[in-house]
Amino acid sequence: MARYKPNIGKIKTLEDANLALKEIGLLEHELEAIDGEANKKIAEIKADCAKQGEGLRKRITDLSALLGAFAEYNREELFKDRKSQKLSFGEFGYRKSTAIS
């Protein structure tokens, strides 16, 4: 099968080049308007999702603090042989820099 190559015309003069540049500018302006509207909608969606997830993020922070306090209080018993405890739903550890996975 032969390749299809569309015929889009030719630029023969400086006036043709100038008109092509004008069209490029107008098309880029339209694209910027479309992208701007999309970015506005994306920002609204992100703000709405952040508001919806606010309680969940707060709960995660609270539970993480509780796990940290539990690890600190029971560190001698839980971390005498290793620095992490693997459980069914993840692991937590006692280190100078704390992380929960």
Delimit the domains of the chain by residue range: 14-93
Average pLDDT over residues 39-65: 96
pLDDT value for 97: 61
Residue 98 — very low, low, confident or very high, per pLDDT cuts 50/70/90?
A: low
pLDDT reported for residue 33: 97
Q: How would you classify residue 32: left for phi > 0, otherwise alpha for psi between -120 and 50, otherwise beta? A: alpha
Indicate whether 16 pLDDT > 70.
yes
Selection from 90, 101, 95, 100 nearest residue 66 by Cα: 100
